[in-house]
Homo-oligomer: A and B are copies of this chain.
Amino acid sequence: MDGEPPGAAARMRDVARVAQVSAMTVSRALKDPERVSPEVRARVEEAVRQVGYVPNRLAGSLSSSRSNVIGLVVPSIDNSLFASTIQGISDVLRRHGHELMIASSGYGEEAEEAAIRAFLGQRVAGLILHDTTHTPEAVAMIRRAGIPVVENGTLTRHPLDMVVSYSNHDAAMAMMRHLLRLGYRRIGFVTLPLAANERSRDRRRGYAAALEEAGLPYDPRLVLEVPPGLAAGVEALDRLLDGGGDPDAIFFAGDVLAIGAALECTRRGWPVPGRVAIAAFDNIDLLGHLVPPVTTLRLPRHEIGRRSAEVLLDRIQGRATGPLTVDLRFEIIHRAST
């Protein structure tokens, strides 16, 4: 009855036959309705509905060498922090009829390179990378492909192309100044692995810069590098308090570390900041509900996503050219824990 094998998607020429026009006219009617007569447009629309036509974007992109897909590489998807950036990107892209492909690098440059290669294979129109350090081969591929790129992780001093972020250095420094202003002098610093990314390194530079500015020594017994996770925060708390550095405050510059530590203080019945003050990086909602609520930084996670997508689209659609650095703002949320 059908004339077509089942499972075969309708093609443009099927629509054309039904609407009694050429395939080219169907293409025009769909992409640029102004350029066909109203009657033809109506016939085409009807035919599209009738055969259940969904345009093949593989063919479209191949032919026009224009893609509507953006590739995103994040260190890990399983992390609410990237989630909110992803949501921001996704919101903007969808509004502009673009699609989002996501890959995670597992915090490794090799995996990032593989993801980038795969995305370039899909001929994405642009890339958003969270990390700011890349393999030479990855950089070379991106250069050859000549597509716009946004980096997100920190305001790196060696951008590939465009950067949309906040300054991890300045944010850490601002928090340190805040603590110093409150009178804390022996401030511990807990960071995620420094080798893994520039963000953590920038934060530690900010920590060190604030100490130097205040004329205080950098005491290695006050600095700790730990893996991510609640449990690591608890462990860091113990190790710093027992480590001989005798901290009066601890600045947790990594995701969920502060939460683990703060909850542990509650569990032990330690007064915060009486026993030790606690400051965090990000995660503002939850930290505000802890007892006591924890001082932290509000970071523009969602905004980073939105703006990244926007500047990328600006370039793709020819509204802008050249490198660009967008410095988004952070904010210190002062609460009872410090």
Residue-wise, chain A 29-50 has the 8 Å CB interface mask toward B (1 for contact) of: 0000000000000000000000
Partner of A289, one of B115, B122, B260: B260
How far does the alpha carbon of A290 sit from the alpha carbon of B120 in the complex, in Å? 45
Q: Hey, which chain B residues are within 8 Å of A266, CB to CB?
A: 266, 291
Question: Does A220 sit within 8 A of B, measured CB to CB?
Answer: no
Question: 3 closest pairs, A vs B, by CB?
Answer: A7-B146, A78-B87, A80-B80
Partner of A285, one of B59, B62, B144, B230: B230
- Contact (Cβ within 8 A) B260 A57: no
- Contact (Cβ within 8 A) B145 A9: yes
A93-101, A198-206, A208-216, A319-327: which lies at the B interface?
A93-101
Partner of A100, one of B103, B114, B260, B264: B103
User: Interface on chain A toward B: helix, strand, loop, or mixed SS?
Assistant: helix
- Contact (Cβ within 8 A) B83 A78: yes
Partner of A59, one of B55, B62, B90, B145: B62
Closest residue on chain B to residue A234 by CB atoms: B289
Closest residue on chain B to residue A80 by CB atoms: B80
Question: Does A195 sit within 8 A of B, measured CB to CB?
Answer: no
CB A122 to nearest CB in B, in angstroms, measures 5
- Contact (Cβ within 8 A) B83 A79: yes
Q: Which residues of A contact B (CB under 8 A)?
A: 6-7, 9-10, 52, 54-59, 61-62, 67, 69, 76-80, 82-84, 86-87, 90, 94, 99-104, 114-115, 117-123, 140-141, 144-146, 229-230, 234, 259-260, 263-264, 266-267, 285-286, 289-291, 302
30 contacts between A and B (CB under 8 A): A9-B123, A9-B145, A10-B144, A52-B140, A52-B144, A56-B62, A56-B121, A57-B121, A58-B61, A58-B67, A59-B62, A62-B62, A69-B101, A77-B83, A78-B302, A80-B80, A90-B103, A94-B104, A99-B101, A100-B101, A100-B102, A101-B102, A102-B102, A229-B285, A230-B286, A259-B286, A259-B289, A263-B291, A266-B291, A267-B291
Q: Hey, which chain B residues are within 8 Å of A267, CB to CB?
A: 289, 291
Q: Hey, which chain B residues are within 8 Å of A94, CB to CB?
A: 103-104, 114-115
How far does the alpha carbon of A57 sit from the alpha carbon of B69 in the complex, in Å? 13
- Contact (Cβ within 8 A) A58 B122: yes
CB A5 to nearest CB in B, in angstroms, measures 10
Complex copy number for this chain: 2
Partner of A117, one of B54, B82, B263: B54
CB A254 to nearest CB in B, in angstroms, measures 16
Partner of A76, one of B7, B57, B82, B87: B87
Q: Hey, which chain B residues are within 8 Å of A87, CB to CB?
A: 76-78, 104
How far does the alpha carbon of A234 sit from the alpha carbon of B288 in the complex, in Å? 13
- Contact (Cβ within 8 A) A77 B90: yes
Q: Hey, which chain B residues are within 8 Å of A104, CB to CB?
A: 87, 90, 94
